[in-house]
Amino acid sequence: MEREVYSCLVSCQALRDGNKLAQMEEAPLFPGESIKAIVKDVMYICPFVGAVTGTLTVTDFKMYFKNVERDPHFVLDVPLGVISRVEKIGAQSHGDNSCGIEIVCKDMRNLRLAYKQEEQSKLGIFENLNKHAFPLSNGQTLFAFNYKEKFPVNGWKVYDPVSEYKRQGLPNESWKISKVNSNYELCDTYPAIIVVPTSVKDDDLSKVAAFRAKGRIPATITRCSQPLVGPNDKRCKEDEKYLQTIMDANAQAHKLIIFDARQNSVADTNKAKGGGYESESAYPNAELMFLEIHNIHVMRESLRKLKEIAYPAIDEARWLSNVDGTHWLEYIRMLLAGAVRIADKVESGKTSVVVHCSDGWDRTAQLTSLAMLMLDSYYRTIKGFEALIEKEWISFGHRFALFIDCVWQMTRQFPSAFEFNELFLITILDHLYSCLFGTFLCNCEQQRLKEDVSTKTISLWSYINSQLDEFSNPFFVNYENHVLYPVASLSHLELWVNYYVRWNPRMRPQVCFSHFEKSVSFCPRKDDGIELYESTELMKRFPCPWPHHAGRQCPENLFCLSPAPPLRAQLLSPCMRQTSNIDIGLLAASRAWVMRAASMSTLVQTPEHHWG
């Protein structure tokens, strides 16, 4: 009888332990998120700690891998939207009957999974990942349309084009707000509301659009696409008149400066293909300047090289030369230098400018938005920056990762001139592809209106603006009407390690964003002097870029492969050219102390939160 009771107690305890283990392995879900597949005994081939066996959960939003046998627990949480490719690979090193999957991500990392081939339940991993990582190709909706989180702030109201133009003093006697594109017939990738000179007629705008690539006319004062001059130097009287009208709208200007972002040789090549640029004979009162910036294909190749040297292996002996070999910082320098020239012509020269590349896409938006950021202090606030993204990027349809990097470089040179912090920028980039919010869905305003994005999805700004303190720069000083001219020199630029190399623990400690009471970093290569260590020095909670974790603590024994937080900051006035780095932990000092420190001209650091 005692044996039966004991056996029953053991069975009950085993059942409780089993249930507890199952609960620990469960993936946390967002409101509206549903599980599509759960597979046990999947092996994640971690490039830093080796093979880790755990449970893989695939939902309609993320891939969630967890191992609860390790201490701390090992978690891999990847939004399906960041996956760019899923491929089957061999895994002979783990047995003849095993196979694997390689997952190529858009956030600078590749992931590998292995599993036993004979277990039929696991054969659906590849199919499930492919199906839910690319929902539109498989007849499904994006998760953003199912996400049901509630926020106290409506982020869709951060930008109203008419209100924003009024803030800039428009309309006035020289400029008017036009709705000629209200049905997106003039240019389907432009917003419905644009600003044009008051004397310009709608019929003339239609002819100008026909003369510009993809119908992208000079709009919102500074941007357009290349003219379709062609090898025969075709002209358009309406386009010439339109640019003259832009110059005439500025009473202080006697010349219109046209900045062509392209290389001169590329512009000549485009001319032979039907494109081209503005000639002095056709535009006598305009001055054309080439900024010699490479196209998006060159930038992508540079980013690919950067990924190769940053993940997973880092060559310590050749790190600086490898970074230089990617030319990434050189391309950032080119963009900043071009934006400085544009801002200087507008501010110091009081000159009207027109900016374009081939189609008025990436380089054009990067240059105009950076110039606006330099010229207008409002755009350096949190809500102003959100409005700038809506105005210059989302309304016109672009991707802007390189732009965010340039903004980060400016925050390094002018650390108290921006209201937002580094986490704000990283959060924006993380949700560029996450498909959690509707902010970055679709390619242009027309498509978003067609899909009813603003009513069926949640804006990223709803999440951010509901907890502004988490994304605020405690050193911010509102320098109104101050123009910033960053130093566009390689000696003043640096690789954004906290973003590009955040997945590599050899470059930055890996921590759970939402819980800093325990920080864990590890690398198995002890000969490199990097070992597993734990620290209890970080006592302040750092916000997580994912709303699911906001306001909630992770278990103390949870190790989460989340982005590393910013560990450095600067305490210098934005009017100073030289900057120095100081370690201040995680800005754990009180906000009152921080604001006092920000007003001091000397460098200050908190000794209790210092990393050497």
Residue 135 has phi, psi (to 5 degrees) of: -65, -40
Angle of helix 328-347 versus helix 401-413 axis, rounded to 10: 70
360 labelled ligand-binding: yes
Question: SS3 for 125?
Answer: helix
- Full 3-state SS string of 301-348: HHHHHHHHHHCCCCCHHHHHHHHHHHCHHHHHHHHHHHHHHHHHHHHC
100 labelled ligand-binding: no
Enumerate the H helices of 468-590 as residue ranges: 497-500
412 labelled ligand-binding: no
Q: Which of 357, 406, 544, 554 is catalytic?
A: 357
Question: SS3 for 204?
Answer: helix
Neighbours of 76 (CB within 10 A): 20
Between CA 218 and CA 237 the distance in angstroms is 15
Give ∠ CA 476-478-484 in degrees, rounded to 5.
95
271 labelled ligand-binding: yes
Per the rule left: phi > 0, alpha: psi between -120 and 50, beta: everything else, 460 is alpha
313 labelled ligand-binding: no
Give ∠ CA 471-610-581 in degrees, rounded to 5.
65
224 labelled ligand-binding: no
Residues contacting 304, CB < 8 A, separation 6+:
none
Lookup: tokens for 208: 């100008």
Amino acid (1-letter code) at residue 213: A
133 labelled ligand-binding: no
Between CA 61 and CA 30 the distance in angstroms is 9
Q: What stretch of H or E contains 178?
A: strand 175-178
Q: What stretch of H or E contains 14?
A: helix 2-25
Bridge partners for 119 per DSSP? none
What is the torsional sign of CA 450, 455, 458, 459?
positive
443 labelled ligand-binding: no
Report DSSP letters for 246-305, one per residue.
Answer: HHHT-TT-SSEEEEE-S-HHHHHHHHHTT-----TTT-TTEEEEE-----HHHHHHHHHH
465 labelled ligand-binding: no
Between CA 57 and CA 77 the distance in angstroms is 10
8 labelled ligand-binding: no
State yes or no: cis peptide before 72, omega within 30 of 0. Answer: yes
296 labelled ligand-binding: yes
Bridge partners for 56 per DSSP? 39, 65
Residue 442 among the catalytic residues: no
Q: Which residue has the tokens 């470059």?
A: 507
Question: SS3 for 356?
Answer: strand
Active site residues: 357
Annotated binding site for substrate: 270-273, 295-296, 357-363
Where is the binding site, in residues? 270-273, 295-296, 357-363
